[in-house]
A and B are shown apart, each in its own frame.
Chain A
Amino acid sequence: MRIKRRTLGQIASFTTLALISAVFLAPVIWIALTALKTQREALALPPVWSFTPQWHNFIEAWQSNDFAKSFLITTSVSIFSVALTLALSIPLGYVLARYRRGWLSAFEVAIMVVRMLPEILFMLPLYVIYQKTALFDTQIGIILAFQIFNIPYCAWLTRQFISEVPPELDEAALLDGASLWQVLWFVIVPTIRPGIVAAAVLSFIAVWTNLLLPLALTYSETPMVATTIANFKGYGSFNWPVMAAAAIISLLPQFIFFLFAQKYIVKGLTLGAVKG
């Protein structure tokens, strides 16, 4: 009897989970189907379930509204932005983990506050400053702007990981005559590699998905994927399948990371809860 009740319970919770998963996946599956239809099929109700896949929608999406250009620019911006973030925040994380000073804790709190503030607080003045300094609508400008939120996040993340590395390791290397840079590069970085991967992946995704920063600081010279997707939606007689195809293409980087680096993504997203 007991066993039977238990299996029934398991079947019930399994079914619930399957239903919930279906609800969470359905919107993405629906948009993927839309991307393969003709405009007439996409608008048809009741929905058309058997249709010839229109793969050319993807080509059309790639070729319209500067989408290809924005895809390449966003790729370049995200790579350079993440490289800069890591180069600046790993040493900072090391100092925050290894040294105790009053002003250092104050600095740490300050950068965490920066991360919580609304983007618009920074974007209004940066828009003016960028217009005056010719950084507006440039890759360098938008790469720098992403540092506002990505440096605090990555410094904090690497700080947590470095705190777990025993300081004796540093001491031993220093006694052997290594410089602090060598300690950082040859001792710390290899030890906390999972943390660095998590920081890199999540900052990459942040660059790829943020809308307000490119909306405020870029225009036609440096279009970013988020704003070109918005343009697909904005045009009067918009074409659902092509817009859906563009949305699907824009999801590719995240999808690849999700398949191959899910472990690190989960680590990066949950560390704040575990460490408090």
Chain B
Amino acid sequence: MKRRIPILFLLPAAAVLFLIAAYPVGFGLWAGLHQWNWALGQAESWSFIGLDNYAQVFANKAFWNSIKVTITFTAIAVTLQLILGLGIAILLHNNMRASWFFRSAVVFPLMVSDIVAAVIFSTILDPNLGILNYALSVVGLPGPNWIGNPNLVIITLSLVDTWWQTGNIILILLAGMTSIPQDRIDMASIDGASGWRMFFHITLPALKPFILVALVFRTIDALRVFALAWAITKGGPLRATEVSQLYIFKQGIGGAYNMGYASAAATVFAIFVGLVAGIYLLAMRRAPA
């Protein structure tokens, strides 16, 4: 039976989303085709230059650097979170009785906003006054300059992100584990499977779709990292943590006000994120659920 769609259920949300999301994106696309640099006094007037902004984006080393930094951050952070999350989820699943407290402890950082995470870790990681390097020196280890060393700082941010977001993966994998039918586990243990063999032949294959979902969620989120880099390092030192959203923010409303160029860069980056999301979604469809 095909009933008429109650258009009043749909219209208000669609109208708001059109005004606040679709129309601005359209305006941004249009702005990206114009020379429109407020710092040069062009706030009130722009001139159409076709795809010139896009050519500039693709030719700009700082833009490519931001893409590289973003991918590095995402790869390190998501890999760490997946390995750690899987390990912790298995431990929690095998210790059901004690797990309420432990689960709350590892999930709690999810409740912390990224700016507060930045505040916390700026104090802890401070090379001279921070507690972490002091603790390392007590056990005789040299404390690296977590925030000032351009080769290390992206790893530092990935570690902070791991502290902050691993709980997300743990929750998804725990939900996955409780959905593995108990009789499959019983059957396998009757057959003499235990420990690692059980893990590789029963748990991991059954968890595969959940791992994929966690991977998608976290990757898309990590690619959009902004506050950690903005608040802990301001993108430095030497652009070592200038992730894409931060680079575009700085080029646009965060200081340079080169609005046409920033709009083009935002479009390119959004397409990049969209492509990554699309590839993942295709991979998920192919994976047997």
Do chains A and B stick together as partners?
Answer: yes
Q: How many angstroms between the C-alpha atoms of A139 and B109 in the bound complex?
A: 28
B263 contacts the other chain (CB 8 A)? yes
Per the bound structure, the CA–CA distance linking A210 and B114 in Å amounts to: 8
A122 to B27, CA, bound (A): 10
The reply to whether A13 and B91 contact each other, CB–CB distance below 8 Å, is: yes
B104 contacts A247, CB within 8 Å? no
Are B12 and A88 neighbours in the complex by a CB distance under 8 Å?
Answer: yes
**Interface window among B52-60, B74-82, B117-125, B197-205:** B117-125
Q: With the chains together, A258 CA to B171 CA distance in Å?
A: 14
Are A127 and B253 in contact, with the CB atoms below 8 A?
A: yes
Q: A45, B284: Cβ atoms under 8 Å? A: no
On chain A, the residues within 8 Å of B262 by CB distance are 124
Cβ of B13 under 8 Å from chain A: yes
Q: Which B residues lie within 8 Å of A17 (CB)?
A: 88, 91-92, 95, 98-99, 102
A191 is an interface residue with CB less than 8 A from chain B: no
- Is B3 a contact partner of A125 (Cβ separation < 8 A)? no
Tell me whether B12 and A148 are in contact (CB under 8 A).
no
Contact partner, B5, options A21, A88, A95, A272, Cβ 8 Å: A95
| A27 B129 Cβ-Cβ under 8 A | no
A228 to B41 alpha-carbon distance, docked (Å): 30
B9 touches A21 (CB 8 A): no
Nearest Cβ in chain A — how far from B151, in angstroms? 24
A276 touches B224 (CB 8 A): no
Q: Are B88 and A20 in contact (CB under 8 A)?
A: yes
Q: Does B155 contact A (CB under 8 A)?
A: no
- Interface status of B188 (Cβ within 8 A of chain A): no
Across the interface, name the chain B residue whose C-beta is closest to A100: B2
B279 at interface, CB cutoff 8 A: no
Given contacts A17-B92, A233-B119, contact A118 B244 (CB under 8 A): yes
- B231 within 8 Å of A (CB atoms): yes
In the complex, which range does the number of interface residues on chain B fall in? 35 or more
- Whether A276 pairs with B113 at a CB distance below 8 angstroms is no
Chain B residues with CB under 8 Å of A43's CB are: 129
For chain A, what secondary structure do more than half of its interface residues adopt (helix, strand, loop), or is it mixed? helix
Q: List the A residue with the shortest CB-CB distance to B195.
A: A9
Q: Does B226 contact A (CB under 8 A)?
A: yes
A107 located at the interface, meaning its Cβ lies under 8 Å from any Cβ of chain B in the complex: yes
Q: Tell me the bound Cα distance from A184 to B262 in angstroms.
A: 44
**Other-chain contact of B124, A20, A30, A211 (Cβ < 8 Å):** A30
- For A23, give the chain B residue with the smallest CB separation: B163
Q: Confirm or deny: B147 has a beta carbon within 8 angstroms of a beta carbon on chain A.
A: no
Question: Bound state CA distance, A156 and B120, in angstroms?
Answer: 33
| Residue A145 at the chain B interface, CB threshold 8 Å | yes
> Known interface pairs A211-B230, A258-B108. Does A92 touch B95 (Cβ–Cβ under 8 Å)?
no
Q: Is the CB of A121 within 8 A of B115?
A: no
Q: Scan residues 155-214 of chain A and give those whose CB is less than 8 A from a CB of chain B.
A: 155, 180, 184, 205, 208-212
CA distance A67 to B187 in the complex (A): 59
**B123 near A244: Cβ-Cβ < 8 Å:** yes
**Is the Cβ of B16 less than 8 Å from the Cβ of A120?**
no
B119 touches which of A92, A129, A243, A255 (Cβ 8 Å): A243
Q: Which of B227-265 contact A (CB under 8 A)?
A: 227, 230-231, 244-245, 248-249, 252-253, 259, 262-263
10 further interface pairs, Cβ-Cβ under 8 Å (given A24-B105, A180-B9, A233-B118): A92-B10, A118-B244, A120-B249, A122-B21, A144-B19, A205-B111, A255-B111, A266-B171, A270-B175, A274-B175
B interface residue numbers (CB < 8 A to A) = 3, 5-6, 8-10, 12-14, 16-17, 19-21, 23-25, 27-28, 31, 88, 91-92, 94-95, 98-99, 101-102, 104-116, 118-124, 129, 131, 134, 138, 163, 167-168, 171-172, 174-176, 179, 209-210, 213-214, 217, 220, 223-224, 226-227, 230-231, 244-245, 248-249, 252-253, 259, 262-263, 266-267, 269-270, 273-274, 277, 284, 289
Q: List 20 A-B contacts (CB under 8 A).
A: A24-B163, A88-B13, A95-B6, A111-B17, A117-B274, A118-B244, A119-B224, A124-B31, A124-B266, A125-B24, A144-B20, A148-B17, A180-B6, A216-B249, A229-B116, A229-B119, A243-B119, A247-B116, A272-B213, A276-B213
Interface residues of A, Cβ cutoff 8 Å to B: 10, 13-14, 16-18, 20-22, 24-25, 27-28, 30-31, 34, 43, 45-47, 87-89, 91-92, 94-95, 99, 101, 104, 107, 111, 113-114, 116-129, 144-145, 147-148, 151-152, 155, 180, 184, 205, 208-212, 215-216, 226, 229-230, 232-233, 240, 243-244, 247, 250-251, 254-255, 257-258, 262, 266, 269-270, 272-274, 276
